[in-house]
Amino acid sequence: MTIERINPGPIMSSAVVHGGTVYLAGLIAADTTVGTKGQTEQILAQIDELLAAAGSDKSKLIKANIWLVDIGDWAEMNEAWKAWIVPGATPARATVEARLAAPAARVEIMVEAAAD
Amino acid sequence: MTIERINPGPIMSSAVVHGGTVYLAGLIAADTTVGTKGQTEQILAQIDELLAAAGSDKSKLIKANIWLVDIGDWAEMNEAWKAWIVPGATPARATVEARLAAPAARVEIMVEAAAD
Amino acid sequence: MTIERINPGPIMSSAVVHGGTVYLAGLIAADTTVGTKGQTEQILAQIDELLAAAGSDKSKLIKANIWLVDIGDWAEMNEAWKAWIVPGATPARATVEARLAAPAARVEIMVEAAAD
């Protein structure tokens, strides 16, 4: 089976497509001066772009892992999530608390979607 | 490829089936007044139900991610896990410590299984 | 679809192959008396062995989840990662901080790769 890589960098690729599934990297916001909701919105916009580059879209989400620096931000993150998600097309999802590599990042999201 | 969603809610689906794999959401116990072993048993029963709804079962587990609020509960969680798992059919698994969204939850488990 | 399990133990398998994808367990170093870079090198060698046993190799990596006991070790872990990874064949990856089950382990890595 072929493997397609989107933005393959020295450490990770932004996305990898294999076997009918697209796997996105764990994404954080480019502008971390805003709060958790704003950071989540930026991440979800990145997900839209990367899924489009892979020939997919958010209606085809399969799985999501979300990490919050403060699990108390769960409701705030969900405001952005619920405004973005396609009703009836929600993925399997898990959200836990964790410190992230970028000190000012408040949230990181890693998703998988159907590629076709 | 088709995508089947089980209990698609406003935030997440309980399970998603795609490409011969069933992806379950991160599950916590319904009754969090009991300890880690009891909570794990409840989660594993939920996994049985969701896998059955997807036409799969625990003998087809592929992957599991487990989060414990206190990693010191590892042995206690494993008592329930070992009593439940099918010998010879254990998944690839990782267990780490993390705070969870539900304050009284002690353990959360997210699995993938073969759908056919 | 068939499921192949490598080293199926009482709790987990070292690797599971299904549907063209190989799923490895979360791996820690066998010798945890060394630092994060040395532990990462040991884990990456284990990944090489397990991928080979599954008929795959590191050029076919799809996805990686990395947990660090201290996210401040991110650069040190990456030294080993960058020396090992195949240029242009980097996976989708996420790294977060978490306490691990083995007290002296500093890093745990769980990967998925194309099996063919």
- Chain A CB contacts of C78 under 8 Å are 11
Chain A touched by C81 (CB under 8 Å): yes
CB–CB contacts below 8 A, A to C: 82
The alpha-carbon gap from C108 to the nearest alpha carbon of chain A, in Å, equals 14
pLDDT at B1: 73
Residues 41-70 of C with CB under 8 A from B: 65, 67
Contact B21 C19 (CB under 8 A): yes
Phi, psi of B72 (to 5 degrees): -65, -15
User: What ipTM, to 2 d.p.?
Assistant: 0.97
**How many Cβ pairs within 8 Å bridge chains A and B?**
82
Task: Name the pLDDT band for A1 (thresholds 50, 70, 90).
Answer: confident
Task: Read off the pLDDT of residues A53-97 as tens digits, 9 standing for 90 and up.
Answer: 999 999 999 999 999 999 999 999 999 999 999 999 999 999 999
- Is A100 touching C (CB cutoff 8 A)? yes
Mean pLDDT of chain C: 97
For residue range B8-62, what is the model confidence (pLDDT) as tens digits? 999 999 999 999 999 999 999 999 999 999 999 999 999 999 999 999 999 999 9
Distance from CA of A45 to the nearest CA of B (A): 17
- Facing B82 at nearest CB: one of C11, C16, C26: C11
How many Å lie between the alpha carbon of C32 and the closest alpha carbon of chain A?
22
* pLDDT, mean of residues C103-110: 97
The residue ranges of every structural domain in chain C are 3-114
Q: How far is B82 from chain C (nearest CA, A)?
A: 6
pLDDT score at B69: 98
- Whether chain A has a CB inside 8 Å of the CB on C103: the answer is no
Mark yes or no for CB contact B94/C67 under 8 Å: yes
Is CATH 3.50.50.60 the classification given to domain C3-114? no
Cβ-defined contact of C5 to B89 (cutoff 8 Å): yes
Q: Is the model's pLDDT at C1 over the cut of 90?
A: no
Bridging pattern class, strands C13-18 and B92-97: unpaired
**Optimal mutation site among A90, A112, A116, interface B, most CBs of chain B within 10 A:** A90
Residue pLDDT, tens place only, B61-85: 999 999 999 999 999 999 999 999 9
Q: Which long-range contacts does B102-106 make (Cβ < 8 Å, 24+ apart)?
A: B102/B28, B102/B32, B104/B32, B104/B33, B105/B28, B105/B29, B105/B32, B105/B39, B105/B69, B106/B29, B106/B32, B106/B35, B106/B36, B106/B39, B106/B68, B106/B69, B106/B70, B106/B73
Give the minimum alpha-carbon distance from A13 to chain B in angstroms, rounded to a whole number: 22
Contacting residues for A53 by C-beta, under 8 A, at least 6 apart: A6, A15
